[in-house]
Amino acid sequence: MKLKLLSILVAATAATNAFADDAEQKTWEVTSELGAIITSGNTETTTLKGGIKVLHHLERWNNEYKLDGIYKEDEVENDDGTKDKQRTNEKYAISAQGNYKLNEKHSHLFIYGSHVSDYFGAYRSESVVSAGYGLRLLNEKTMWLNAEIGPGYKYFKYPDVSTEVDENGNSLAGEYEGEIIALGKLDYNWKISDNARFTQLVTVEYGDTNTKTRSETALLAKINGSLQMKVAYNIINNSDVADDKESTDTETSLTLVYSF
C-alpha cells in the first residue's frame, strides 16, 4: 500500500513537470506539496504526505483542481511480544471547483465536487456536490478574506466495522446514505512579508445526519523563488460518529511546497 501512495506522488510530480514545460501559459498556476517522516530504532514509523493543486484562470472562470494523500505506518507490539508495522492512517481526497466571475468585483458563482476515501475516518468514503455564491469580505493590500455559501448533496459510506445502527436497530456497517447539506467556507490569506505568508481555511458541511467542520492553519516561509516550507495544523470534526470513533482528528505536518 505504501508503494501505492508513492506511485501517486510520483505521478503528481510528473504532472507538475508537464505543466512546468508550459510555463508561458500564465493562465496556469501549479503547486505541488510533499513531506515524509521515517524513523527507526526504538520506534519505527513511516509517514508520507503529498498533494498537488492546479489553478486555471480564464476570462470568465477561475478553476481549481486538488489532489491530496496521506499514508502512515507505525510499529506495534503484539500480545506475544513480537512487533509488526501496521497501517494507522490512509486517506486520499480529490476535488474540483469552477468559479464564474460576476460583474461585481471579487464575487462569483461556484460549482464544486469532491470525493474522499478514508480508511480510518468516521466515514469510509464521502462524495459532495455543491453550488452557490462567493464574495470577498476583506480586501487589503497584504490580506484578504473570501467567503462562500451554498446548498449541496453528500453521499457517504459507513466503515465496514462501524457500530452505528439506524432508528430500527439495524447495523449501518458498510451501508451508504445521502443527505442534503449546506456548505460554507472562509478562506483567509495574510502576506506577513515578502518571504512569509499565513493562511486559514475553514469549511463546514451542515446536514441532518452529521455536521463536518474542517480547519487548516498554515504558515509558509519562502526558501527561494519557487520553493517554500509549510507548517500546517489540520482539524476535522464530525458531530455524529460511532461510539468507537473520536469526533475530532488532528494532524500537524511539515512539507515542502513547489510552485510554478
The structural domains of the chain, ordered by start, are 28-259 (2.40.160.40)
For residue 249 the three cell numbers come to: 482528528
**pLDDT for the residue numbered 50:** 96
Q: Which long-range contacts (CB under 8 A, 24 or more apart) does 5-12 make?
A: 5/48, 5/50, 5/69, 5/71, 5/90, 6/48, 8/50, 8/67, 8/69, 8/92, 9/34, 9/48, 9/50, 9/69, 12/50, 12/51, 12/52, 12/67
Give me the helices (H) in 88-128, please: none
**First and final C-alpha spacing in the chain:** 30
**pLDDT for the residue numbered 169:** 85
For residue 114 the three cell numbers come to: 469532491
**pLDDT for the residue numbered 112:** 98
For residue 215 the three cell numbers come to: 480547519
Beta-bridge partner residues of 37: 47
In angstroms, the CA 108 to CA 110 distance is: 6
**pLDDT for the residue numbered 75:** 86
**pLDDT for the residue numbered 26:** 64
Average confidence (pLDDT) per 10 residues, the chain, 260 residues: 41 39 64 88 85 95 96 86 86 97 94 96 94 97 97 94 83 92 98 96 94 96 93 92 82 92
For residue 21 the three cell numbers come to: 514545460
| SS3 category, 101 | strand
Beta-bridge partner residues of 110: 99, 132
**pLDDT for the residue numbered 85:** 86
**pLDDT for the residue numbered 193:** 95
Q: Where are the beta strands (DSSP E) in the chain?
A: 28-39, 45-57, 61-77, 83-101, 107-118, 125-139, 143-157, 176-193, 196-206, 211-222, 227-238, 248-259
| C-alpha dihedral, 134 to 140 to 143 to 149, nearest 10° | -10
**pLDDT for the residue numbered 98:** 98
Q: How far lies 197's CA from each of 23, 35, 144, 155, 226, in Å?
A: 24, 19, 12, 35, 14
Task: Provide φ and ψ at 18, rounded to 5°.
Answer: -65, -40
Task: Provide φ and ψ at 102, rounded to 5°.
Answer: -95, 170
**pLDDT for the residue numbered 244:** 72
**pLDDT for the residue numbered 119:** 93
